Each structure stands twice: as structure tokens, then as C-alpha cells.
Structure 1
Amino acid sequence: MSNPLYPLHAYCFSLFICSLSRFSVDLTDCYYEQFHLISKDPSFTVRSDGAIVAVAEVSVTTRGRTFSVLAEDNTGRESELEVHLAIAPQKKEVILAVARTKRRWSPPPLEIPENDLGPFPKAVETIRSDSEAKEPVYYEISGPGVDQGFFTLDRETGILYVHQTIDREKIPKFIVIVSAFSRRTNQQSDQPLDLAINVLDKNDNAPEFKDSLQFTVLEQSNPGTVVGQVNGTDKDEENTFRTKIKYTLLSGTDLFAIHPETGVITTVTNTLDRELVIVQLQDMFGASDGLSTTGTATITVGDINDNPPTFTKTSYEASVPENESEKLILRIPVVDRDLINTPNWVSKFVITKGNENGNFRIDTDPKTNDGLLYVSKPLDYEKTKSIKLDVMARNVAELTGTTAQWSSIPVNVNVIDVDEGPEFTAPTIRFIVKENVPNNTLIGTYTASDPETKSSDGIKYYKVTDPASWISVDKNTGELRVANTIDRESNFVQDGIYNITMKAVDSTSKTGMGKVILQVEDENDNIPVVPISDLVICETQGKFGSVLVVAEDKDQPPFSAPFTFSLPTDKDGKWSVTRLNDTTATLNQIQDLPTGIYSVPVVIKDLQGFGDKQTVKVRICNCVNGVCKDRPSSISLGPLALLAMLLPLALLLLLCILLAFFCRTKGDKIELEDAGDGGGILLKSNTEGRGEEVDPTLITVLPFEKNTGLNSGWQDTKNMTGLGGHSVQENGMYKSGVDMQDFFSSHHGSHYDQLTGHGGGGGGMGFDSRHLVQDSSFFHTWQTNGLYLQPKLPYLGGEHDGRYADDIIHSYGFEGVGSAAGSVGCCSDFGDNDSLEFLNTLGPKFKTLADVCTKK
């Protein structure tokens, strides 16, 4: 043992050789918990309980075998222990299965090394159940490791086998279930066993860098300044010596240092530049048999603003013509040694002196970092011939790490004289004028002079803008006079102000501009008026209505409101007026008035008593939601619209006159003969009452005999035709079975009495058929049909039969007045018929008339 920390001696180990592939060394008497123990021989590993276990097949000769175990205490101090292996003299080899004759059913977790290369299958452990002492058993195994093909169990012997290499970083532990069954009953002879199999870690993963290796530190940083931290990670088992990382710098150690445990990089000098350093990660805290990884860390030295911008000259001079603005007059370059395009390099210029009037501004060229001096307001050579400025250059960032200060330089700006146009005595002049003053009234004089000579000789004056043409200008003197009536209430006047633009032109045609403001004073030239004269009062039962009358006056105070309202002396006593406020009065109805439109005169005067009578139209009506519901629409048509409406009527009238004139003058006068019956097509008609008139001669009259009763006359007539085309059968009965006597007497009683000579519909006395023939209209078709239908109606269901209104007899009154639309008559049954074929069947009279009208 070298560099001993504790008295570790060979006698504290007891060696047990179990086979050529597995043995253990007991370190329980060596206080192993005070150390981190690592085998330097990859064929062995030190377990957590201090036992050294062979993880691979070990060959031991008669000379024995020696390897080292590294011991490290909690402070990081290391010692190395030599382990000597020798073969026991009494046995060269002991088979594991023979050595272990009995196993308890609940063994401690089994352990297998990761990355074992075989050969496979390899025995791991023999499982024994306590029930095996009582009866023969067999074993079965299940679980994730079995399903994946890692483990099998010999059901007869209980030996557990591993079949393939296992990576602990993927599967650190297996839980398999072992069951014992009676060979006699095939029933479980013991409770199932959850067997844990831990995969022993091996240092097979080198540490890795976890984060980026990009760091920045400002220049001139003091030694010990933290640059950044390197973070490493290891996939091996956590909190073991195999994953303890040691950080080391392989380069740049003259500029930086790194803490071996935390990985924090610090500076060791203040003379830094952009650097690349190589960092090494070692597990097992740098043990010689540990694994390592290297990476390149980039450490950028950040710039600080320790260099102010400096001017390339000690002073500058520039020239600018007068009256010019927004013009670049000077470019001022600077030099800055800080990092380009950073706040430490970008310049910012300030005019510290000479720009009290704001005639200049200075900007920064973003590409060159130069200062750009502009004239922003025109300069006047006659007032200022040169200006001295002081310009300071500074950075966006403040200075640090240096004692230097911002620098300034003088800049002299010369103003160049330019031949200018005339200038008015003032850029803007104001005159006060009253409205309605007479034309040619002098308002004032507005003149200009040459800025160099101060003379007005040869200068002419003109108007540029005069919206309402109210002003005339004397071009030689600049006098302003009234040209048209000035009205303060004009739309060209805003808040009593009227603007005019003037121009002065010298002999060299150079011009100068000026502005004239006319402040127009008000006069009482407008009376109060009522802009809305059509007012509405909604009629309310038992109440008198009122309406608000609002007046306005275009004049300004004191020539306008407050107004006075009154009724004229000749008022009709239907209305009263009461002043509500300065511009409004209430017009009250004091009599009960019918609906309609009323013109109410109201006298309205302004504050000066200037006013007149105004007529207010008031409409009294029935309202719906405050609006007259019977108010007619008012549409005003212009002359062209009226002409367009009357023109077709005039053309139609002219056409009728021409047609009449043409027929009278061009056609021959022909006597039309009455050829007798027109076949029922062309009939005379003079209907002035209800219905349509029909010639009674067209109606077939019933052939009643003389001196016989109505009943007998009809009974003796067989198969007669009449009464609207209906056949009358024997015994005076219709086919429908209605007695004709009852027909006439019951439903046309009064008319029947006149024919029979009986009143009240009684008696069985007959009547002369001549009476019936003389009153031939009685048999008009429409009347006959009416008489026939009349008795049929009572046979329809009445209201008591549950029938509805359409089936019930209704009474209709005739008031003797025809429809305004005219009679529809029988033609309504034909509907629309555009065919003209009927013209060929109208007979000879119509053809003759057509020939007369079409003859040329």
C-alpha cells in the first residue's frame, strides 16, 4: 500500500475462491465505509458492502495474482491497496452449485455485472424454496426480464441463467417472479417470490458536456472575475465514484483557471483577448483508469467604452446661403477605437453653443459614424452674417475604465448674402372693418420694401387670394378698399375673420408674400326668424296642446338673443305665447280647435328691438308616436317632371283629334242598315242602375193560357222550355221537385200578388197569363235564376246545424250607387284573351265600319 491514510493491512482481507469466474474478498473489518473503493483491475469490482467480486472469468496461477484497489476518503485524499490472490491449498476448484447446498426462499437481491460478454447462458444463482424439504417441487419464473429474453430458470434445479449482455444505463434493475409448485399436486407449494436482480454498474461511459461552452468577459476585468461555469454529466450510476467529474484546463492556464469540482472558470489576469481554451472532463475524479472527454470553450472578451470618439481636425468652417433650410452644410468625421457597431462606438453629437435660436441640427451617419450638420431654419444675412457653434462628440454608452472625457470642437458658419425679393412691413397685418360699409371705403395700406435698400420704389401689389372678391388693391400704393358688400354672416367668414393673401413684386420680378386679416365687425342687419315653421300639436282629448317656437338670428350679440315673443294686436284669441328662454317661446292653444293647419303670426324681436312678424304653421292632428298618422305625403315636382307627365296626355289627345278628323274628312258617308237581329252579339245597352240591361225580346216567354190559374197553366204544359233554360216537367214541377206555385208565392210574394191580383200571398185564385206576358221582365234570365235559387237556399244548413258562415244566408243592401271602377258584367268570366280571332265573327255591320275607318 502506498501513501497510507489508515492502517490497512493484508490481514484484514480474507479470500474465498469459489470458482475461476467468481470470488469475493471480505473488507468488513477495514472500515470500508470511510473510503470510496475502486478496483483498478477491470475484472473485479468492489460492492457497496466492501466485498471485492470478480465480474469476469479470472485465471489464477499457482503464483497467484495481484491487482490494486484505489481508496479515497471524504476529503479527496487517495491511497492504493494491493490485493494478492492465491489458490487455496486444499481445493483447486469448487463448483458454486456444490458449495451452496441450501438456499432460503427469500434471498437478498441478486447482482449481475453490466456489459458481461458471456459465454451465455451463464448461471447467476440457485433458487431454493423452503417447501422443497417437504416434497419434490419444480420452479417457474415470469416478469419483464423473462419476457424480454434476459433470464430463464431451470425448473428442475432452480438455477437462474442470464442469456445476453445487459446495459445498466438502459435497465438498472429487474423484478422477476419465481413460483414453486408441488410435483405431486401441481399446486403452489410456497408463496410466489419477487426476486430483485440489480445490474452492477461499470465505468463504461465517459463524462459529457451538458451546456454550451460560449462565455464572455469584459476587458480589463480584475483577476478572479467569474467567466462562466462548465457543466458535465455522466450516464453511469449517480453518486458513485464513477460519476464524480474532475474539471481541468488543458490550455489557457496563464489567463484562466477552473475549479476541479464545480467547473467555474475565473480570470487570472486583466490582459485578455478573445481566447479559446480546452476543457477536460474526467470521471472517477481524474483516476488514471477513469474515462475523460475534452471540449473547446470559447471565451470572448467583451468591449467596454474606454475610448471616446475623437475629431480628425481641431476646427471646422461651413457656409450657407440665407433663406435656405433643411440643407446639409457640413460633415464632421470622428474616430473611435471601441468595437464597431456597438453602443461603445456609435457617436452622438450635440451642439453645445451657438444654436439658441434653433437654426441648426446635427445627426449621425449610421454607416460612417460622421456628424451631419444641417441648417433647419432660414438665416437672414442682413441680421446675422456668421454664427459660431461648439459641437461635442460622445457615445451612446457612457465612458468606463478610462479617465478620458468627451471632446468638443468649434464650427464657424458663414451666411451668404442673396438678392431677395421685397418684404412686407409685417408678414401678417390685421384690419378692422364693419360689414355693409359702402364700396370704395378705404380699409388700410399694406406695403413692402427691398430688404437690402429698404426702399419701396418700383414695387407693385397684387391680390393672390380674395375668396369673396370684397377687396380691391391699388397696385402702386398697396391701398386696400371695399369692392363689394362685406357680409359677416357669409360662409367665407369664420369667427369674424376674413383672410386675404397679398403679393409684392419688385422690378426684377422677385416676389414677397404677405397675409391680410380682416376682422369684420357685426351690424344688426338680420332679424330673428323661425327656421322650422311647420309645427305639430298632437290632439289630446280634454286638453289644449302647445308647441315650442325656436327662433334664430344670424347676427352676433348684442344684435341677436335674447329675443322677445308676442302676438300681434289683431290676434284671433285662439293662441297665446309665453317666452321660455333666450331663443325659445311656447305657443299655447287656448281654444278647442279642430284638426287642421293653422297659420299663427308671432312677433319676434332681438335685443335691440329689431324684428318683424313671423308666420308659424301649426298642424293639429291625431298622432301615432308623435307623428300625424293622416299627414299626406308632400311631393314637389319640378317643371320638367310636370311637362313629362302632361306630354303623353297631349299626344294622346292630338292623336284622337287627328283620328276623328281623318275619319270625317277622308271616309265616305255611308248609311248603315239595321239588318235586324245581331245574333246576340252586338246589343244596345244603357245601364244606369244595378246590373246590366238585356233586351226582353231575347227571352223566351212561357206559353201560359188565358183565364187559367198559374197552377193549371203550368200543369197543362208539358216539357216547356224557358225560365233560364231549365225544363219544366209535368204537373208544374221542376226536376228538383219544387212546386212552382210555392216558388212564386213564397219567395217573390209581392210580385206574385201583383200578377194574381191577391195580396199577402193568399188565395188560390188564378190570373190571366196576359198579365204575366205584359210584365215580361219578370222572366228575364237573371231574375228567373234568382227566383229558382231563392227557394233552394233554405235547404242548405243553417247556423243551428253547425254549418259555418259561408253556408248561411246573408243579407246584402243595395244603395243605388255604382262602382267607381265601372261594371265588370259578364265579360269577367272570360279572363284574359289576347286572341283577335273573334273579329272575323262580328258580322257584316262591323266589317262595314272597319272598311270605312281604314279607307284612305
Structure 2
Amino acid sequence: MDVYLVQNSRKVLKDGLLKRSKRRWSPLPFNIIENDVPPFPKEVDLVASDSSAAYKVYYTLSGPGVTEDPVGVFSVVKETGMLKVHRAVDREVTPQFIFQARVFDRYTNQETDLPLPITVNVEDVNDNAPTFTGQLQFTVLEQSNTGTVVGKVNAIDKDEPDTDHTKIRYSLLSGTNLFYINPETGVISTKTDTLDREVNDKHLVTVDIRDMNGALNGLSNTATATIVVGDINDNPPTFKKTSYNVSVMENQEKGLILRIPIEDKDLINTPNWNSEFIITKGNENGNFRMERDPKTNEGLIYLTKPLDYEKTKNLKLDVMARNQAELSGTNAKWVSIPVDVTVGDVDEGPEFTAPIVRFTVQENTPNDTLIGTYTAVDPETKSSAGIKYYKVSDPASWINVDESTGQLKIANTIDRESHFVVGGVYNVTMKAVDASRKTGTGTVIIQVEDMNDHVPDILSKDLVLCEKDGGEMGSVLVVAEDKDQAPFSAPFSFKLGEKHDDKWAVKPLNSTAVMLAQTKELPTGLYTVPLMVGDLQGFGSTQTVTVRICRCRNGACLAQQNSTSLGVWGILAMLLGLALLLLLFLVCSLWTNNNIHSPLPTSSFTLSATMSILYRIMFTWSTFSLQKLAYLGTEEEGRYADDIIHTYGFEGVGSPAGSVGCCSDQVNQEDLNFLNTLGPKFKVLAEVCTNK
């Protein structure tokens, strides 16, 4: 291979110095064959610079394949520029090398030309067989049309792209009677429409891939592709028998009575196999239901309502089996089989003519009145002979039952307003007993009709009317109720009784209430007012209400206390207690002062003067208090309730002496003997007064 060196400038001698001019190296790329065989090294081609004509030069190489990984693949003969390769190269690992050549003057070691990039291409040989990629398992539904795509086989080849070395051709080595593969694309398709999952649910086909476009000298690989045949619902469920029989006793409790096994060729535990069962005939009364056993796929018939032998001795059911999925790819239909149900006879207890019977009775109907008859019959004989009747439940004991005939009579007064009557209905439970002691029960519903046996009654007859200022007239609400129902109750009529005193008037409010209003200004006090209250039928009575007119706070009369209720001696005792308390403080003070500073005569004089002053103060106070009490006594009851003595909280909690007030625990306020038994209270006061 030749190397062309293009010179575009020359060296010139100037000022006695050697100058280097630019050059351009333009060699063609070098080629080597991958996986070349020994011996090595082998010559590749010359790398030469046209500066070698003017200078004595040498060559160097650097870069990948020389001084960088992979190191030592190439070298250059220093003096001649011959490029050599030292070992085999794999194109699939390194398809190309690019490294750099440089040329130097042997004497000055100066470069005589610009550096030259060297490209070495590795030529491909067909040393890699094609390989399969991706999955080799496909699915196609049974009975698919001819030409239905099953899947695509994928393969790759590591050799040079876009050459025969990587041009792959596909072929089938087996399964060619059912499937076809496109030789260029690898797509597998069906060759027939007869695939049947129930005959063969899986096919194994051998696929061959070969490069060199399938030539005999091409490299190849084979693999097995698995083609699964998918299920369609082309097989309906079938019964193992042509009919079934089952026996059920009458009055048998609900539960499983029959299992019906089936067969289905479709794929197990899929909608194509899962069964569903329908009773298409004979279950008009809803005595049965069907379910599927999820483990066995069997049909299960359940009894949901007891059967009656006397009414039905035999039932013929038609049971159809189908799948959850609709049929496909077949002309078959869902199939049904007959199921014969035989009902067994049981000796049963008597049955009442109806489970529930209703009679209408007016309240207060006289005792021993016949209200009706409730009888039972033997289900087998349809006769009432020998049956006895009893009460099971009669909460208010209002009914008597004739044991032999089942006649119902009034035993006690029926009251519609009784709490035993709910919504106007009273219930009695009865029992019928036959000769074999078997029983049956029934319910008697008594609809109680209302009578006008109650008059309207005023709910609250003690009323409060708060006194208003400025002579304004007040009124109070009067409400009545009647235990009877319409038309024997509201709307009510209200009017004043015959003996009223014209101080009050009735003002309608609604159907059950009026306002009782003053007609003139009235002082505080109690007033009785007769009121005649009647129902819609005019049935009623005169009732008396009491109206208290008073001064109010928050809608209630003020406390009815009289300021003089404490009594004169009570007030005096309180004042005396206060005076004695002050006296004790003064005595303590004087006693302490006397012991420290003053002689006894001075102390005695001071004590005497103090007592005199206290005496004057205390009965001045008592005179004033008596005048105050006399004034309060002339006022109306409760008028000055805020101006009297009040009891306040106990302040001695936690103290061994309790409250230090000397009178705080005295009940009899006129007894002054407590002065001799002050005990710990005085001790507390003394400690306060003592100068420590």
C-alpha cells in the first residue's frame, strides 16, 4: 500500500537559520485482517514523510494500539517507517485503531514534518454464527385461521453489519405441517385452521438460523420454539348421568340436598371450564337454589324453603349447565337434565287456619264479649277434632280462650291508652295442641278502636306570672292534652268557669293551648281561676289553675324571705358578737402594753373608758337596726330580698378552730353562754394579739 505525502511548502534558509514549513500527510487508511494467523510480527505498510528526502529522519508512533491500550499491537521500524502488527486482532472487540506518527531529524531531534494521524481498519471475517435473542415461546388460539401470526423469532450476528456475514436466513426443521416461518423476517404463522387444544395443547418446532444469506458455507444455530395452543370455549359442560333423583322430607331445614358432577374438556379453572347452573323449570316457588363447587366444578342444589308433603309430594326440576364464557368455535348447545325431587311425609303439629288473624274491638267493651274464633286443623287429616287451644302470650290478660272451640272473649277492660297497645294494636299469641302433643302457633292481632273516655287535662295547674312595670297586663300559657285520638281529642275549647271574677280572659293560641291574660292590674299574690276545657266532641270538665303573680328574676319568683325573720334578739346577738370581737382585740392590746410600759392604774382606767365607748356604739347600732327592721317589716313580701342578711361561704376550712368568728356556729342567736366556751377560737385571737 502506498503512502502519499503532499508537500505544500518548502524549507528556506534565512538569516543562516533552518526554518520548517507546514506539510500535510494524507496517507490512505491501512487495513489488517482480524484473527490473522501467525507468525508475527507482520508488515503492514510504510509510513513515510517526504521530508526524508531532505533530512536524515527517524519515526515514532504513539496512541491506542501502540503506547495505550491495547499496548503493543503495532510498532514502526524507526529508520524506515515500516508499520508492523504483532498479534491477531478481533474486529468485534476493536474494529479500528487511530494513533499518531511523528518524524524527527536524527541530528537535531527536531520534527521535520507535522504529526500524522494513522488509521488502521480491521477487516471482518465470518467468525461469528448468528444467535437467538428474546423468548422462543408463543401462543396461538386453537382453530385459528390459516396465516394467523404466532410470533417472531429474533436473532443477531456480531460480524460486520450490512454484509453477507450478518445476513440471516430463517427456516423450520420441524413442525412444517402446521407452521411456516418467513425466511427473511423470522415471523411464524399457522399453515392450517385445525389446531385443537383438546388434542394437543403444545407444539415444539426446531428453528434454524444461518448467516451468509443461508448459504451452505454460512455459520448457523438451531433452537426449539414452544408454541402453546390457547383455549377457546368450544366444549360445553356435559352431565355424567342422564337424570337424578333426590328425596327430601317435608319441613326439612334448608341445606345441600344434591351434588351433580359434570365434565368439561376446556382449560381447567378458566371461564371456559368454570360452570354455572340454572334451574330452568320446577322452582317457581323458590324452594331451591343452585351454586357451583369451586373446587370440583360440581353443581350443588340447596333447599331454601321447607316443602309441604300435603301440598306437594313430588317436584320435577330441569337443571341446565353452562360456562361462565359463551361458546365459541362449535355448534354445540348448553344441555339440561331432569332432577326428580320426592317429598317425604312427616307427622306435623296442627296448623291455624291462618298464621295471623285480625279482630277489631272497641275499648271498654264489656267483659265476656265474644270477639272471634281462631282454630287450627291437622295437616294430614284436615280436621280440627281433638285440638286444644291455649294462650302463649297475653301481656295485659285481656282475653280468655275457650280450650275446646278457640273462641276469644273479653276478660278485662281493654284500654286503648294502655302502654300494652302500640299503634292501636294489641297482640295475643296462641298455641294449638293435638292429641299427640304436637303444637302449632298463631298470632291474634286486636285492633283497638278508640272511645271518648278521657277529657282534656291541663298539664300544669300551678302557673307563675311575672309582675310587669308601668301597669302592663301579663299573661300565662295554659296547655292541655287528651289521651284519646281524633276525633275525640283536639282541637280543644277553653272558657272561664262560671264562678270566675272577671280578672282574667282567655285568648286562643292553637288547638291545644290558650293564653290566660289579666284584664285588670292585680297586686302580687295567689289567684285561682276556673277553666272549662272540652274536646272536639264537647266532652270536658272544669279545672282550676293557680296563678302566682310575683316579682321575678330570670322568669322565677324571687325568694320569699322577710327581713324581720331574724328577730330583734338575733340582730342584737350578731351586733354583740361584733362588739365582743373588737373588745377582745382591745383587751389584748392593752394587756400587752400594760406589761411593757404602763403601771396597773393607767391600764384599768383605759379599759374602763374603752368599755364605755363600746357600750355606746353597740346600742346606737341596735337602735338603728331596730328602726331598719321595723321599716322592712312594712314592705311587701320579698320586695327587699336583696337588702337582708345573707349567708356566705365558710372561711375556716383546714383550721383546727374553724372560723374565728365567735358566732359562726351558733344556732340559737339569743343564747350568750358561748362567751364562756370560746376554747380554741379565743386562743387563735390571743395569738394574733400577742407581741412575740
TM-score bucket of the superposed structures, by smaller chain: 0.5 to 0.7
Q: Does residue 411 in structure 1 map to residue 242 in structure 2? A: no
Q: Distance in 1 between matches of 2:441 and 2:157?
A: 86
- CA deviations 1:412-458 (Å, max 9, x no partner) are 33333332222222222111111222332222111112223232221
Q: Structure 1: which 5+ runs fail to align?
A: 1-15, 20-49, 62-86, 103-109, 125-153, 155-159, 179-191, 633-685, 702-721, 730-769, 784-814, 832-856
Q: 1:513 corresponds to which residue?
A: 441
Q: Distance in 1 between matches of 2:683 and 2:484?
A: 74
Q: 1:96 corresponds to which residue?
A: 47
Q: Distance in 1 between matches of 2:86 and 2:462?
A: 112
Q: Does residue 120 in structure 1 map to residue 48 in structure 2? A: no
Q: CA deviation at 1:308?
A: 2.0
Choose the corresponding residue for 2:484, options 548, 555, 563.
555
Q: Does residue 727 in structure 1 map to residue 597 in structure 2? A: yes
Q: CA deviation at 1:546?
A: 5.2
Q: Does residue 378 in structure 1 map to residue 301 in structure 2? A: no
Q: Distance in 1 between matches of 2:583 and 2:535?
A: 75
Choose the corresponding residue for 1:362, options 277, 290, 297.
290
Q: What pairs with 1:711-790 in structure 2 (closer than 5 Å)? A: 724-725=594-595, 727=597, 777-778=608-609
AA in 2 matched with 1:301: V
Q: Does residue 609 in structure 1 map to residue 561 in structure 2? A: no
AA in 1 matched with 2:261: P
Q: Does residue 579 in structure 1 map to residue 531 in structure 2? A: no
Q: Distance in 1 between matches of 2:527 and 2:159?
A: 110
- Percent identity reads 54
- CA deviations 1:694-713 (Å, max 9, x no partner) are 79999999xxxxxxxxxxxx
Q: What RMSD in Å do the two structures reach over aligned CA positions?
A: 5.7
> Contact 1:326–1:374 (CA<8 Å) still a contact in 2?
yes
> Contact 2:248–2:257 (CA<8 Å) still a contact in 1?
yes
More strand by share: 2
Q: CA deviation at 1:595?
A: 8.5
Q: 1:309 corresponds to which residue?
A: 237
Q: Does residue 228 in structure 1 map to residue 151 in structure 2? A: yes
AA in 1 matched with 2:597: S
AA in 2 matched with 1:691: L
Q: CA deviation at 1:307?
A: 1.9
Q: CA deviation at 1:357?
A: 2.3
Q: Distance in 1 between matches of 2:91 and 2:518?
A: 109
Change beyond 3 A, Cα 1:162–1:54: closer
> Contact 1:117–1:165 (CA<8 Å) still a contact in 2?
no
AA in 2 matched with 1:95: L
Q: Distance in 1 between matches of 2:611 and 2:152?
A: 128
Change beyond 3 A, Cα 1:447–1:777: same
Q: Distance in 1 between matches of 2:268 and 2:382?
A: 55
> Contact 1:469–1:483 (CA<8 Å) still a contact in 2?
yes
Q: Distance in 2 between matches of 1:435 and 1:541?
A: 52
SS at match of 2:457: coil
Q: Distance in 1 between matches of 2:501 and 2:122?
A: 123
Q: 1:30 corresponds to which residue?
A: none
Q: Does residue 268 in structure 1 map to residue 191 in structure 2? A: yes
- CA deviations 1:99-143 (Å, max 9, x no partner) are 7989xxxxxxx99899x995526469xxxxxxxxxxxxxxxxxxx
Q: 2:31 corresponds to which residue?
A: 53
> Contact 2:488–2:536 (CA<8 Å) still a contact in 1?
yes
Change beyond 3 A, Cα 1:236–1:485: farther
SS at match of 2:371: strand
Change beyond 3 A, Cα 1:18–1:445: same
- CA deviations 1:153-199 (Å, max 9, x no partner) are x9xxxxx9999999999999999999xxxxxxxxxxxxx99999999
Choose the corresponding residue for 1:821, options 629, 640, 664.
664
SS at match of 1:421: coil
Q: CA deviation at 1:402?
A: 1.5
Q: CA deviation at 1:549?
A: 4.3
AA in 2 matched with 1:361: R
AA in 2 matched with 1:778: A
Q: Does residue 451 in structure 1 map to residue 379 in structure 2? A: yes
TM-score under structure 1 length normalisation: 0.53
Change beyond 3 A, Cα 1:695–1:251: closer
Q: 1:346 corresponds to which residue?
A: 274
Change beyond 3 A, Cα 1:557–1:771: same
SS at match of 1:827: helix
- CA deviations 1:313-345 (Å, max 9, x no partner) are 333333333333424444333332223333222
Q: Distance in 1 between matches of 2:190 and 2:311?
A: 64
Change beyond 3 A, Cα 1:531–1:302: farther
Q: Distance in 1 between matches of 2:37 and 2:87?
A: 23
> Contact 1:331–1:373 (CA<8 Å) still a contact in 2?
yes
SS at match of 2:581: coil
AA in 2 matched with 1:356: E
> Contact 1:111–1:199 (CA<8 Å) still a contact in 2?
no
> Contact 1:111–1:197 (CA<8 Å) still a contact in 2?
no
Q: CA deviation at 1:530?
A: 4.7
Q: 2:422 corresponds to which residue?
A: 494
> Contact 2:590–2:603 (CA<8 Å) still a contact in 1?
no
Q: Distance in 2 between matches of 1:424 and 1:101?
A: 135
SS at match of 1:691: helix
> Contact 2:316–2:338 (CA<8 Å) still a contact in 1?
yes
Change beyond 3 A, Cα 1:18–1:577: farther
Q: Distance in 1 between matches of 2:685 and 2:414?
A: 74
> Contact 1:169–1:235 (CA<8 Å) still a contact in 2?
yes
Q: Distance in 1 between matches of 2:287 and 2:524?
A: 77
Over alpha carbons, which structure has the higher Rg?
A: 1
Q: 2:409 corresponds to which residue?
A: 481
Q: Structure 2: which 5+ runs fail to align?
A: 5-27, 54-61, 102-114, 561-575, 615-644, 646-660, 666-677
> Contact 1:118–1:165 (CA<8 Å) still a contact in 2?
no
Which structure ranks higher in relative contact order (CA pairs < 8 Å, sequence separation ≥ 6)?
A: 2
SS at match of 1:551: strand
SS at match of 1:608: coil
Q: CA deviation at 1:509?
A: 1.1
Q: Distance in 2 between matches of 1:690 and 1:332?
A: 111
Q: What pairs with 1:170-569 in structure 2 (closer than 5 Å)? A: 211-231=134-154, 247-272=170-195, 273=200, 274-279=202-207, 296-531=224-459, 548-569=477-498
Which deviates more, 358-367 or 284-293?
284-293
Q: Distance in 1 between matches of 2:211 and 2:432?
A: 96
Q: Distance in 2 between matches of 1:222 and 1:280?
A: 25
Q: What pairs with 1:44-83 in structure 2 (closer than 5 Å)? A: 53-54=31-32
Q: Does residue 691 in structure 1 map to residue 561 in structure 2? A: no
Change beyond 3 A, Cα 1:291–1:517: farther
Q: CA deviation at 1:470?
A: 1.8
Q: 1:649 corresponds to which residue?
A: none
- CA deviations 1:586-614 (Å, max 9, x no partner) are 44566667889987665433212233426
Q: Distance in 2 between matches of 1:696 and 1:373?
A: 109
Q: Distance in 1 between matches of 2:98 and 2:251?
A: 97
> Contact 2:464–2:550 (CA<8 Å) still a contact in 1?
yes
Q: CA deviation at 1:506?
A: 0.9
Change beyond 3 A, Cα 1:260–1:828: farther
SS at match of 1:777: helix
Q: Distance in 1 between matches of 2:156 and 2:525?
A: 103
